[in-house]
Amino acid sequence: MADSEAILAPQEPELRHHFDDSAQQLEASTLGMWVFLVTEVMFFGGMFGAYIVYRNMYPEAFASTSHFMNVTIGAINTGVLIFSSFTMVLAVRSAQLRQKKALIAFLILTLILGCVFLSLKYVEYHEKWVDHHIPGPGFQYADPRYFHQAQILFYLYFAMTGMHAIHMIVGAGLLITLIVMAARNRFSSGWYTPVEMIGLYWHFVDIVWIFLFPLLYLIGHTQ
Amino acid sequence: MNATLPFAQTETPINYLNADYGWKSWLFATDHKRIALLYLFSITAFFFVGGAFAVAMRINLLTPEGIFSHDTYNKLFTMHGIIMVFFFLVPSIPATLGNFLVPMMIGARDLAFPRINLLSWYIYIVGGIFTLTAVFQGGVDTGWTFYAPFSSSYSNTHVILAALGIFVSGFSSILTGLNFIVTIHKMRAPGMTWNRLPLFIWGHYATSLIQVLGTPVIAITMVLLGLERVLHAGIFDPTLGGDPILFQHLFWFYSHPAVYIMILPGMAVISEIVACFSRKAIFGYGFVAYSSIAIAVFSFIVWGHHLFVSGQSMYASMVFSFFSFLVAIPSAIKVFNWTATMYKGSISYETPMLYAFGFMGLFTIGGLTGLFLATMAIDVHVTDTYFVIAHFHYVMVGGMVMAYMGGIHFWFPKISGRLYPEGWAKFAALLVFAGFNLTFFPQFILGYQGMPRRYAHYPPEFQVLNVMSTAGASILALGYLIPMIYLAWAWRYGPKSPQNPWNAKGLEWEQSPTPPPTFNFEHQPVVTEPAYNYSGEEQEVKLG
């Protein structure tokens, strides 16, 4: 074992023993991340499937519930997330150019935007709580015709946006990790795979919201 | 031709087993071979827990009145199903043999993500702890299918805990699949082209595709079910405007492909064994390889055949029925090609080959009775009867467990560096075959005569066949216990194995010492010939 370790001793500090070179390692990480994102698509896909079923089953109830969605906050949050994707891209670019200060600055900016999104989400959830729109024993709905159907739709709303928010929180944790790593000069050698991979994850979570916003807030809102 | 010993018998070179002995070197192992062993022991434990529930059920069914209450019996078959499906069958071959062999067969030093591989084992254990906690707290009675609204509103058992266990352990399956896909794409040794991959690798590649695409859907389904149980918002409850059929669709969107997660690795093992003990290249390599991918693709468009009597649209049922018939084509290609491989081969009857014979016969019966069930009219007659039980046990136990046992015996010398006692092994293999058929063949007849499944009691006219089935189950249990004992014995006291005891082809036998060193190979392996080149000819296998 000691011998083979000597033979395989990596030339670059971040190259792990079972890869031949860092190009192979990067390709493996990238493919792995994309496959993971495919599983995430399927994960959210289950809920989107349920959404499609109930939307077709209860179109009037859907139109009715969309009036209780806070489109203003939703629209602001959409802008916040799109802008955070932009700052994430700039962070990856700074890592490529080995600009440590810019990298940390853009990561912190991305993190702040993520927190803004989550704070606004909290405001929205609080509104729902005040209006008794949380599914469960305390659920109330203005239009008695749609009481049960609206409850199912709010259930889907909370399941989908809640699962998205959990992904945002995980992403925030990953960003903090990146900031610590960057501060400790882990990316000074030009190796920046984690920044790129977490960037992919961040963009994916943004894209989920790009689908959620029109589906949950906008469709049927003008009826 | 190369059965020579690579090292002197007197001294043991450093290998993955004796490189380090501390408990940390196991619990924090990133070596895929050690993680495979961690999985092997935990899966075996779950197999015997799940088996114990099956034994209790069979004892109950000895007499028409039974000995357990209806509630207890409901919990027995539920826990049997959950543990066997999610904690034994799904991880069985991929997480043990696959984990051990995928890097070795393609000439890699490890899987692409060794730490994620270890993480997947821990996730599996955490999921198992949740589910076992549900068992010890009194069990679950929904059936392994968790059909709503019973599971979401009416059952008074620990549904959330069991669902949480399945949710968590699903990520272990996802991570294993992800690791295999990346490893097979990016880590192949020089010369190991896709056309030269052993069929074991093709089978695992197809399995990984299903794990990655299907498992997230069962995860979110379990989340929705658990939330619904807490909130009672009615998403699956028809009295509150919800749609229980939606739950069945979501559940079977994973759980039917999962059946192929369970059988494809078995087929992968059989391809290796049949080629080795017929001393011939697999007949129609390309067809067998692509049939694995075809099964993976078809697996995602047949789930509706579980819903023929649910009130699903008749037209949807017709489409699902048609696709279900289509799955028979790639499955049959495999069976025909294994048979053609044996034709004019020099067949020998070592234990792995006996299990392979068992697999081919029993899987064929299981597969053909699957066509009965894909036919809507017959399915309506036998839905929820013992016919269905017998059908999928022929595939899952007669197929998958046979292949698993065959694979464990085939690669036991590689894994442990020791030889197992052939006489005992053959005896146990025959016992398993006899016990299996005695257990499950009577259930075909019972089901066709109309005995429903999931009932603790039954009319007295069914007793003879049920007694036969229980008798067979006892033989089967013995057939599984004996290998446990002699394999454990052989691991410590068995004679040392030469590098390649079967004279098999493949990088793991030909170019790696037995047992392998931590990094699998002493030199970077280079592949210069197609897989299964038993004839020794320099011929390139053409795909398709």
Task: For residue A58, list chain B residues with Cβ-Cβ distance below 8 A.
Answer: 241
Percent of chain A's residues with pLDDT above 70: 94
- Kindly determine whether residue A32 and residue B182, on different chains, have CB atoms separated by under 8 Å: yes
User: pLDDT higher for A62 or A38?
Assistant: A38
Supply the pLDDT for residue A15: 85
> CA of B108: which chain A residue's CA is closest?
A18
The pLDDT of residue B2 is 44
% residues pLDDT > 70 (chain B): 96
Answer yes or no: do B186 and A58 touch at CB < 8 A: no
For residue A107, pLDDT beyond 60: yes
Task: Look over chain B and give the mean of its residue pLDDT values, rounded to a whole number.
Answer: 93
- Chain A residue at shortest CA distance from B231: A136
- pLDDT over threshold 70, residue A68: yes
**Using 50, 70 and 90 to split pLDDT, how confident is the model at A188?**
confident
Q: Is B419 helix (H, G, I), strand (E, B) or coil?
A: coil
Select the residue of B109, B230, B240 nearest A148 (Cβ to Cβ): B240
Output the CA angle B28-B34-B39, nearest 5 degrees: 95
Mean pLDDT across the stretch B373-394? 95
Quote the minimal CA–CA distance from B19 to chain A in Å: 8
pLDDT tier, B422 (very low <50, low <70, confident <90, very high otherwise): very high
- Mean pLDDT within B375-390: 95
**The CATH number of domain A44-218 is 1.20.120.80:** yes
* Chain B contact set for A39 (CB, 8 A): 174, 178, 212-213, 215-216
pLDDT above 90 (res B119): yes
Q: Do A38 and B212 touch (CB under 8 A)?
A: yes
Compute the average pLDDT of residues B53-58: 96
pLDDT, residue A18, reads 86
Q: What's the whole-model pTM score? A: 0.93
Q: Do A43 and B217 touch (CB under 8 A)?
A: yes
Residues of B in contact with A31 (CB under 8 A): 181-182, 185-186
The pLDDT of residue A199 is above 60: yes
Instruction: Output the pLDDT for position B11.
Output: 64
Per-residue confidence (pLDDT) for residue A10, from 0 to 100: 45
Of A31, A135, A136, nearest to B185 by CB-CB distance is A31
Residues of A in contact with B241 (CB under 8 A): 58, 148-149, 151-152
Q: Is the pLDDT of residue B169 over 50?
A: yes
Token pair of B461 as six digits: 């006219």
Is B528 inside a domain boundary? no
CATH code: domain of residue B432: 1.20.210.10
Q: Does B345 touch chain A (CB under 8 A)?
A: no
> Which of A11-15, B114-118, B256-260, B316-320 is the least confident region?
A11-15
**Distance of CA B153 to CAs B135, B161, B233, B310, Å?**
20, 15, 10, 19
CA atoms in the 13 A half-sphere facing the CB of B359: 31
B267 CB-side CA count, 13 A: 35
- Tell me, yes or no, if B431 comes closer than 8 A to chain A by beta carbon: no
CB–CB of B112 and A39 under 8 A? no
- CA of B18: how far to CAs of A167, B33, B408, in Å? 42, 12, 21
Q: Which chain B positions have a beta carbon within 8 Å of A45's beta carbon? A: 216-217
Q: Which residues contact A45 (CB under 8 A, 6 or more apart)?
A: B216, B217
Q: What are the chain A neighbours of B228 within 8 Å (beta carbons)?
A: 155
- Res. B222: pLDDT tops 70: yes
| Residues paired with residue B496 on neighbouring β-strands, in sequence order | B418
Chain A residue with CA closest to B248: the answer is: A50
Q: How far apart are alpha carbons B128 and B131 in whole angstroms?
A: 5
Please indicate whether, in this complex, the C-beta atoms of B213 and A39 are within 8 angstroms of each other: yes
Task: Report which of residues B438 and A21 the model is more confident about.
Answer: B438
At residue A4 the predicted structure's pLDDT band, cuts being 50, 70 and 90, is: very low
Do B172 and B124 meet the contact criterion of CB atoms below 8 Å apart? yes
Query: Rounded to whole angstroms, how far apart are CA atoms B496 and B8?
Result: 11
Q: What is the pLDDT of residues A113-124, one digit of tens each?
A: 999 999 999 999
What is the Cβ-side half-sphere exposure of residue A202, based on CA atoms within 13 angstroms? 31
Nearest chain A CA: its distance from B14 CA (Å): 7
The DSSP line for B333-364 is HHHHHHHHHHTT------HHHHHHHHHHHHHH
Local structure of B141: helix, strand or coil: coil
- In angstroms, rounded to a whole number, what is the distance separating the alpha carbons of residues B247 and B218? 10
Tell whether B4 is covered by a domain.
no
Query: Given CA atoms B31, B35, B40, B41 in this order, what sign does their dihedral have?
Result: positive
Query: Most B CBs within 10 Å: which of A5, A14, A37, A39, as the mutation test of the B interface?
Result: A39
Cα separation, B182 vs B179, in Å, equals 5
Query: How far is Cα B541 from Cα B521, in angstroms, rounded to an integer?
Result: 26
Average pLDDT over residues A182-201: 92
On the question of pLDDT at B502 being above 80, the answer is yes
Quote the number of domains for chain B.
1
Mutate to test the interface with B, among A8, A141, A155, A157 (most CBs of B within 10 A): A155
pLDDT recorded at residue B538: 47
Q: How far is A28 from chain B (nearest CA, A)?
A: 6
The parent domain of residue B74 ranges over 32-510
User: Which residues of chain B make contact with A163, given a CB cutoff of 8 A?
Assistant: 220, 223
Among A4-8, A121-125, B303-307, which is the least confidently predicted range? A4-8
Say what the pLDDT of residue A8 is.
45
Scanning B194-253 for CB atoms below 8 A from A yields: 212-217, 219-221, 223-224, 227-228, 230-235, 240-243, 246, 249-250, 253
Q: Taking residues A43-71, report their average pLDDT.
A: 92
Give the per-residue pLDDT at A7: 45
Residues in chain B with CB shorter than 8 Å from the CB of A30 are none
Sequence-distant (≥ 6) Cβ neighbours of residue A70 within 8 angstroms: A124, A127, A217
Q: Which of B34, B185, B186 to mutate to test the interface with A (most CBs of A within 10 A)?
A: B186
Which whole number is the average pLDDT over A162-183? 97
Q: What is the pLDDT averaged over residues B214-226?
A: 96
Separation of alpha carbons B363 and B328, rounded Å = 12
Domains in chain A: boundaries: 44-218
Quickly tell me which residue has 């209860």 as its tokens. A58
Contact B225, B361 (CB under 8 A): no
The whole-angstrom distance between A87's CA and the closest CA on chain B is 29
Statement: residue A2 has pLDDT above 60: no
Chain B residue numbers touching A137 (CB-CB < 8 A): 232
Instruction: Specify the pLDDT at position B1.
Output: 40
Residue B482 has pLDDT above 70, yes or no: yes
pLDDT of residue A150: 93
Residue written as tokens 């009295």? B239
Mean pLDDT, residues B79-105 taken together: 96
Choose, out of A64, A133, A152, the residue to mutate when testing the contact with B (most B CBs < 10 Å): A152
Helix axes A147-183, A22-57, angle to 10 degrees: 160
Lowest-confidence pick of A28-37, B146-155, B433-442, B531-540: B531-540
**Neighbouring C-beta atoms of residue B505, cutoff 10 Å:** 22
| pLDDT-derived band at B13, boundaries 50, 70, 90 | confident
DSSP state for residue B498 in the 8-state scheme:
P
Under an 8 A CB cutoff, do B233 and A155 touch? yes
pLDDT computed for residue A223 by the predictor = 63
CA–CA gap between residue B191 and residue B168 (Å, rounded): 38
Q: How far lies B182's CA from each of A27, A30, B205, B413, in Å?
A: 9, 9, 10, 28
Q: Which pLDDT band holds residue A11 (cuts at 50, 70, 90)? A: low
The pLDDT, as a whole number, for residue A189 is: 84
* CB contact burial B326-346 (16+ within 10 A = b; e otherwise): ebeebbebbbebbeebbeebe
